[in-house]
Amino acid sequence: MATLTIVHEPANHRFVAVDAGKVAAEMTYSPLGDDRFIIDHTDVDAAYGGQGVGYQLVDAAVAHARTNGMKILPLCPFAASVFKKKGEEYADVRF
């Protein structure tokens, strides 16, 4: 699994995985008020495929939601599959 720096960019409504100053992956979201957001897209550069980078982005979004008392609707097919696999582990933040 690649270990990159995960950065939340709230002004751009996204989480990014950065490797040596280069964006290796991004996950975008749409806010729904102050307590919910929709994960709507995840994109990982082909050079980082299969290394768990997308999972790191979803984990960062879940951590953000927990810290801020928020709920997530994972509409992006990748994020939805991660939520399905994680089941009970992510149940507290799913709406």
Residue 1 confidence (pLDDT) above 80: no
pLDDT of residue 2: 63
8-43 burial, b at 16+ Cβ within 10 Å, e below that, comes to beeeeebbbbebeeeebbbbbbeeeeeebbbbbbbe
73-83 average pLDDT score: 97
pTM of the complete model: 0.94
**Cβ-Cβ contacts under 8 Å for 9 (sequence gap 6 or more):** 15, 16
Tokens describing residue 37: 């957001």
Coil, strand, or helix at residue 91? coil
Residue 90 confidence (pLDDT) above 80: yes
For domain 5-90, the CATH architecture is: 3-Layer(aba) Sandwich (3.40)
**pLDDT 10s digits, 24-42:** 999 999 999 999 999 999 9
Instruction: Give the percent of the chain with pLDDT over 70.
Output: 97
Coil, strand, or helix at residue 64? helix
pLDDT of residue 16: 98
